[in-house]
Structure 1
Amino acid sequence: MKDPSREPFNFGRDVFDRWARVAPARPALYLIRDAAHADIVGYGELARASDGLAARLAAAGITPGTRVLVVLGKAPEFWVTLLALNKLGAVPMPGTTQLRPADIRYRLEAAACRAAIVLPGIARTLTDPFFDQQLTFRFVTGGDEPAPAGWTPLDAWAPASGPPDGPVTSAGDPALIYFTSGTTGHPKMVVHTQAYTRAHRLTASYWLGLQEGMLHWNFSDTGWAKAAWSSVFAPWNVGATVVVDPLTGKFQPRAFLELLAGHPVESLCAAPTVYRFLVQEDLGRYRFPALRSAVSAGEPLNPEVIETFRRHTGLTVRDGYGQTETVVLVANPPGAPVKPGSMGKPAPGWTVAVIDEDGRELPPGEEGEVAVRVDHGRPEGLFAEYAADPEGTRRRFRGPWYLTGDRAQVDEDGYFWFVGRADDVIISAGYRIGPFEVESALLEHPAVAESAVVAHPDPLRGSVVKAFVVLAPGWRPGAELAAELQTHVRAITAPYKYPRLIEFVEELPKTISGKIRRVELRERGPQG
């Protein structure tokens, strides 16, 4: 039998360049400048630019299999660079601009990576002699700053006369390395193949509902895997347009809403935190005439936030679920009934179940671990391995199942309901308590803008529920408000779930991908 992993395939040449031939003038990138202006980069222009950059990188010594750290933020050069490296068969390792030199050192050492393409401002921070010794290839692109000493400037936009030379990649060849967001430990290196890039056709069709020419805005840093999902491979698989915003730094809800209202964005994808901030604003002031789809991913979105957004926009935010290691696994597809707070139903082609510790599929209503069946063939949207960590890879598989590490339950209608990461579940006096349900209950109180719930050691109960609460504008912390929140939670969920401890904080610690770092909250002392 022919090995499908050896099938010739390359996303840049076989998918993107196909669209460039079919519709060269169609926008591949829609680059927002401000609330009224944007620049367009067509599929044809981007194909030629990526060919040119691939040729120049190959001439400089980047070869198939070369691992390349890429830290370019939302600079348009990110998309040219990713395509160029893909066409070469090199392996980009995207990272966020929030990475510090110590984070970058960890990634370079862990991956034995000797090449980097970064913004000039990032290059200027890498002053330790380690980087001179580690990096054989040091390139800067994007922005108006000059290249620091020792770094080579790259013109990402100079087109080539033809496709770059080099061997054709296979479906099973490495195409990307993403580092997990590290909520509980050091990030792992998730290796994805060329086949993973085309597997995001499922993400585009089943969850995002994208079609040719649609303008899709994924509000995400390019350094984490959600960008691969929603800012690159899903939209470009179906010939859609990637919207690139200029927003950086601390999230500003009003600036976000002004851009959304000022441009013909048809499809929006954002983290739950974004929607939680948006519903704190006066949404009635804004109109989004082109918007017809809104989705959320990263962590489940609370039902009360979904309802508030729907009331003001007419759109129901549709949750989707997957991991750095996968494409979309479970989602609420366009047009299907949504149960607010549910992750939805398994995507076509994936057998997803909730199982017990012995690998047995559990009936509706029972909590267990979310798992994917792999004994009938490994889905091409599933990661290849954790690089340099065979034991870590092995632990993610049990019998016929791939283990996600997330806990959930399924209802009688087949909808999945998230409980929490396996290491986030709180056991108090014998009761198992998922943090998400308590956090959702807290968010139903008008005083709460954000919350995170963790286990806190207790000599009698083993653990009790502790909530960290960020207040909405106009509310002041205090013992009286804490008691009111406790009463509120007891009134709308099982009494044993209420937070016996509440700490008011200015902000919650998050990973670079926006997920709450509950592990950091668990490690805090009694007063944070």
Structure 2
Amino acid sequence: MSILDNTQEDKMIATGHADTFCRDRLPPADQRPDLLFGGEAPQYADRLNAAVELLDANVDKGLGDKTAIYSVAETLTYRQLMERANQLANYLVDEMGVVPGNRVLLHGFNGIALSVAWYATIKTGAVAVTTMPMLRGGELAKIIAKAEVNFALCDNKLRPVVEEAREITGKLASIVDWAGDGMLEDDVAGKPVTFDNADTARDDIALLACTSGTTGEPKACAHYHSSVLAMADTFAQHCLEPQPDDVYAGTPPLAFTFGLGAFLVFPARAGLAVAFPDRPGFDALCETVERFKVTTTFTAPTGYRAMMGLWDQHDLSSLRKGISAGEHLPAATSDAFHTLTGIRLIDGIGATEMIHIFISTTATDVRPGATGRVVRGYEARIADENGETLPAGETGRLALKGPTGCLYLDDDRQSQYVRDGWNYTGDLYSRDADGYFWYVSRADDLIVSSGYNIAGPEVEQALLTHEAVAEAAVVGLPDPERGAVVSAFIVLAEGVSGDETLIKALQDHVKTSIAPYKYPRRVEFIETLPKTQTGKIQRFKLRG
């Protein structure tokens, strides 16, 4: 397998970006991961535009009349999807003044409009910054400031929070929203259905995927155009084994690279269809499976447990595969789902830093309780604290190499994630003699609950803004339903008594301060927090 050094990539390939903000803020060469191309890993041409390869290529291959997207509102073929993306791309360039390399905020709900916005942004050579629709203005402002975003496309229901973020940052010179009868549709409809796609390099940045670190400060993970395709050409191709009649659906937002792969990149790369539920929730997902004969679902273990409870209420007979990611899939959940449905769930571990899943298996090669084996095109090992490889059966840090890797934008935390060319995910694993990887725990303070990454310190800061709270510490405690549950240990202000009413008030306070999914589902009032002699909170003692 050949290794293409990133410094060579930059020297070999001329950027297609007029705005080189992202490339100028990539990590220094000695802190970048080794990228594997050739052998079992895919290879790509020097000039590459991911949207062209995903969208235009299907039309060129004669799939223009094949369904690309199903939704309750309408169904689009690949040709219709490409034409809409082309019209919006023309609007971005002609009316908004977007040039290759500019960052474009995409803030909306899973569906046709957000899909078109993503494709259009990539076609122009701009950098897509897709964000979670549940984020509050302050959280969104951190991302906008980090990426120096000046353009935004958003759902009109979410425009107020985007406007709030603009007021906080002083950025976002242009905000355009979409709705069923909104201005964006009217203006875009008159644009040409053809577009002169940007001539980007394979190592130009296509997207910034933002994720919370253990401190709550966002990390902007930069991914090349080649990386967008690589997640389909590795995991999706070798583990999902896509069939021509497949229809994909699920719950992760497109702002998560798990959702981006599942609902845009994977189906388009294979010329398949995706079906979008018309609202959040697992009942809506089951309705979508029934209505559009979905064959493959993507969600976290929490979602599959919920689907089991809804199985008898819907006709889900079209379902052939289920992919579980975002948190560890317990063997009990895997076995229960298999007993009920006859379907063995495909587990997988990925990371925003790596863009998608790098350890998994096929549906016929599952070992319940194990995450799987390394995806073809990647290398994985278990390392000790010094970076030395551990033998089978021993627990250590998971280290990866592949055609994708961690590239934090202008962030000192890069040196913690990438060492000697290897990506260290922050997960503790062991590997058995057959090459299966078994999850043990996180190696840091990040809480992974129902597939969401939640920074304990961020929840602590939200709690500390409530007048009843003197001190707070937040950790993740094991939970059979969610993998981990956000748990707050609180020292109350003098004279305040803790009760169920106060617990509810504190939870509501957090929900209004930061994204609601981050609120502490467990709250315990204690007299003092365990601390070191220097005053540092000993969170490990709270985990028991």
| TM-score, structure 1 as length reference | 0.75
Q: Which residue of 1 aligns with 2:410?
A: 388
The answer on whether the counterparts of 2:488 and 2:523 sit within 8 Å (CA) in structure 1 is no
Match of 1:188, SS? strand
Deviation at 1:388, TM superposition (A): 1.7
> Is there any run of 5+ residues in structure 2 with no aligned partner, and where?
15-45, 448-474, 490-499, 501-505, 528-541
**Does residue 101 of structure 2 align to residue 69 of structure 1?**
no
Of 69, 76, 89, which residue of structure 2 is paired with 1:29?
69
The answer on whether the counterparts of 1:188 and 1:386 sit within 8 Å (CA) in structure 2 is yes
Match of 1:409, SS? strand
Match of 1:387, SS? coil
- How far apart are the structure 2 equivalents of 1:515 and 1:197? 29
Deviation at 1:451, TM superposition (A): 5.8
The answer on whether the counterparts of 2:54 and 2:265 sit within 8 Å (CA) in structure 1 is no
- How far apart are the structure 1 equivalents of 2:380 and 2:178? 42
Deviation at 1:403, TM superposition (A): 1.0
Q: Which residue of 2 aligns with 1:78?
A: 114
Match of 2:209, SS? strand
Q: Which residue of 2 aligns with 1:179?
A: 210
Deviation at 1:381, TM superposition (A): 2.1
Of 170, 179, 183, which residue of structure 2 is paired with 1:142?
179
The answer on whether the counterparts of 1:359 and 1:401 sit within 8 Å (CA) in structure 2 is no
Of the structure 1 ranges 261-270 and 120-129, higher mean CA displacement relative to structure 2 is found in 120-129
Paired letter, 1:381: T
Q: Structure 1 residues 222 and 304, CA, compared in 2 at 3 Å: closer, same or farther?
A: same
- How far apart are the structure 2 equivalents of 1:265 and 1:68? 31
Match of 2:69, SS? strand
Q: Structure 1 residues 282 and 12, CA, compared in 2 at 3 Å: closer, same or farther?
A: closer
Q: Which residue of 1 aligns with 2:393?
A: 365
Deviation at 1:174, TM superposition (A): 0.7
The answer on whether the counterparts of 2:250 and 2:285 sit within 8 Å (CA) in structure 1 is no
The answer on whether the counterparts of 2:278 and 2:284 sit within 8 Å (CA) in structure 1 is no
Match of 2:359, SS? strand
CA RMSD of aligned residues (A): 3.4
Q: Which residue of 2 aligns with 1:212?
A: 244
Q: Deviations over 1:380-422 (max 9, x none)?
A: 3224x21121x22122122242211111111122111111211
Of 83, 97, 108, which residue of structure 1 is paired with 2:144?
108
Deviation at 1:450, TM superposition (A): 4.4
Q: Which residue of 2 aligns with 1:246?
A: 278
The answer on whether the counterparts of 1:203 and 1:229 sit within 8 Å (CA) in structure 2 is no
Q: Structure 1 residues 455 and 46, CA, compared in 2 at 3 Å: closer, same or farther?
A: closer
The answer on whether the counterparts of 2:286 and 2:316 sit within 8 Å (CA) in structure 1 is no
> Equivalent residues in 2 for 1:256-295 (5 A)?
256-279=285-308, 281=309, 283-295=311-323
Paired letter, 1:228: L
Q: Structure 1 residues 517 and 137, CA, compared in 2 at 3 Å: closer, same or farther?
A: closer
Q: Structure 1 residues 353 and 199, CA, compared in 2 at 3 Å: closer, same or farther?
A: same
Paired letter, 2:80: E
- How far apart are the structure 1 equivalents of 2:161 and 2:488? 38
Give aligned-pair identity as a percent: 25
Of the structure 1 ranges 411-420 and 393-402, higher mean CA displacement relative to structure 2 is found in 393-402
- How far apart are the structure 1 equivalents of 2:310 and 2:372? 29
Q: Structure 1 residues 388 and 236, CA, compared in 2 at 3 Å: closer, same or farther?
A: same
The answer on whether the counterparts of 2:51 and 2:119 sit within 8 Å (CA) in structure 1 is yes
> Equivalent residues in 2 for 1:126-525 (5 A)?
126-128=162-164, 130=167, 133-144=170-181, 146=182, 155=187, 160-164=192-196, 167-182=198-213, 184-201=215-232, 202-248=234-280, 251=281, 253-279=282-308, 281=309, 283-326=311-354, 327-336=356-365, 338-373=366-401, 379-383=402-406, 385-389=407-411, 391-424=412-445, 439=478, 443=480, 449-450=481-482, 452=484, 525=525
- How far apart are the structure 2 equivalents of 1:156 and 1:331? 41
| TM-score, structure 2 as length reference | 0.73
Of 87, 91, 105, which residue of structure 2 is paired with 1:56?
91
Match of 1:321, SS? strand
Q: Deviations over 1:16-38 (max 9, x none)?
A: 201012210111111135xxxxx
Q: Aligned residues, how many?
A: 440
Paired letter, 1:214: D
Paired letter, 2:262: S
Match of 1:118, SS? strand
- How far apart are the structure 2 equivalents of 1:187 and 1:16? 30
Q: Structure 1 residues 136 and 515, CA, compared in 2 at 3 Å: closer, same or farther?
A: closer
Paired letter, 1:10: N
Match of 1:325, SS? helix
Deviation at 1:209, TM superposition (A): 2.6
Q: Relative CO higher for 1 or 2, CA cutoff 8 Å, sep ≥ 6?
A: 2
Deviation at 1:161, TM superposition (A): 4.3
Q: Deviations over 1:120-167 (max 9, x none)?
A: 1211344547269411121111344x56xxxx77755656242236x4
Q: Structure 1 residues 219 and 159, CA, compared in 2 at 3 Å: closer, same or farther?
A: farther
The answer on whether the counterparts of 2:378 and 2:403 sit within 8 Å (CA) in structure 1 is no
**Does residue 156 of structure 2 align to residue 120 of structure 1?**
yes
- How far apart are the structure 1 equivalents of 2:298 and 2:162? 33
Paired letter, 2:178: T
Q: Which residue of 2 aligns with 1:460?
A: none
Match of 1:242, SS? strand
